[in-house]
Amino acid sequence: MENQQEFYKAILGPKNQDYYLRQFAKFDSAGKAGASWHWPAFFVTFYWFLYRKMWMPALLYFFLPYLLMVVLGIAGALAGEAAAPVMGLGYLLYVAAIFFVLPAYANALYYRHCNKKIAEVRASAHEEQRQLGELSGKGGTSNVVLIFVFIFAFVAVIGILAAVAIPAYQEYVTRARMAEAVSIGKNASERVADYYYQHQRVPGSLAEAGFEATVSPGIKGVGVNSQDGVVTITMGAGPVNGKSLQFVPSIDESKQIVWQCTSSEIQDRYLPQQCRQPK
């Protein structure tokens, strides 16, 4: 076709023009677009579509996995276990199409895309120079891919930072709550010890011993066992929610009450050093 080379150059733009002109020349010579491996379509398929302004293929490529999951999910729900082989085959066909068929025919797909745009422009009554100008605007490459790369990179960085910071912050908060629990436990155990020295028996409750626990969102409750005098603090938030810390009394050689802070439920990394089990 007359001046077809100029129209190809206009729609392709300057980036990698020689490569695509060689591919298109082969397709024109053969009379059809065949297989021709394209590495960018293999490694960065979605971004390559955007870069070459193939908006509809990019949209289909982006949403196809979600549509496939919906279809396979509905099929699995309706057919039950009988659908498992079909679902597995569907997934394998999708992977083969994405990683092998698409890169093999990416040049052919782009060839058809460019020729469609050229045919649309040629159908107009405009002079050739204006047609070439329209093709240059419709074709070439797009910087929108850089925007997507920046967005995805930004999201990835935020995700990495969140993955590191959130657990670290949660552990910090949990340790702070455990330190508060230890402080409350020490105060409660001292009141219990004072009561025992005065009455020679364990109080029936912390209130009887004169202790009133302050309300805290990280602590569900504080209590004393009237039989053995063990003071128990039950945690109320985070990874230690519902787990307890005990202050266990014992009598030393000088007949004084000694308290041991311990927990069989809470991990050592959340406990203050004095409450950890010896290893």
Tens digits of residue pLDDT in 195-225 = 888 988 989 888 888 888 766 778 888 989 8
One-letter amino acid at 112 equals R
190 Cβ partners below 8 Å, 6+ apart?
none
Q: What are phi and psi of 222, to 5 degrees?
A: -130, 130
* Structure tokens belonging to residue 1: 């076709």
Q: Is the dihedral of CA 217, 220, 226, 227 positive or negative?
A: negative
Cβ–Cβ under 8 Å, residues 177 and 218: yes
Work out how many domains the chain is built from and give that number: 2
Tell me, yes or no, whether 156 lies in a domain. no
Tell me, yes or no, whether 159 lies in a domain. no
Q: Are 33 and 131 part of one and the same domain?
A: yes
Residues 137-171 have pLDDT tens digits of 888 888 876 777 777 778 878 888 887 788 888 88
Tell me, yes or no, whether 195 lies in a domain. yes
Q: Are 223 and 114 part of one and the same domain?
A: no
Q: Is the dihedral of CA 19, 20, 23, 24 positive or negative?
A: negative
Q: Are 97 and 169 part of one and the same domain?
A: no
User: Does residue 187 have a pLDDT over 60?
Assistant: yes
Cβ–Cβ under 8 Å, residues 17 and 105: no
Q: Are 255 and 221 part of one and the same domain?
A: yes
**How far, in Å, CA of 121 to CA of 167, rounded?**
57
DSSP per residue, 240-261 = GTT-EEEEEEEE-TTS-EEEEE
Tell me, yes or no, whether 253 lies in a domain. yes
> Residue 158 has what pLDDT?
84
Q: Which of 109, 142, 175 is the last residue of a domain?
A: 142
Tell me, yes or no, whether 62 lies in a domain. yes
Say how many C-beta atoms besides its own lie within 10 A of residue 166's C-beta: 10
Tell me, yes or no, whether 47 lies in a domain. yes
User: Does residue 100 have a pLDDT over 80?
Assistant: yes
Residues 37-57 have pLDDT tens digits of 999 999 989 889 989 999 999
When pLDDT is cut at 50, 70 and 90, the band that residue 119 belongs to is: very high
Tell me, yes or no, whether 155 lies in a domain. no
Say how many C-beta atoms besides its own lie within 10 A of residue 228's C-beta: 9
Q: What percent of the chain has pLDDT over 70?
A: 96
Closest C-alpha among 218, 278, 271 to residue 246: 271
Q: Are 181 and 270 part of one and the same domain?
A: yes
Residues 63-92 have pLDDT tens digits of 988 888 888 777 777 766 666 777 778 788
One-letter amino acid at 212 equals E
The CA R_g of the chain, rounded to the nearest whole Å, is 36
| CB-count exposure of residue 144 (10 Å: 0-12, 13-18, 19+) | middle
| CB-count exposure of residue 178 (10 Å: 0-12, 13-18, 19+) | buried
Full domain range(s) for residue 176: 165-275
Cβ–Cβ under 8 Å, residues 170 and 269: no
For 241-268, what is the mean pLDDT? Answer: 88
Kindly state the greatest CA–CA separation across the chain.
Answer: 112
Cβ–Cβ under 8 Å, residues 144 and 50: yes
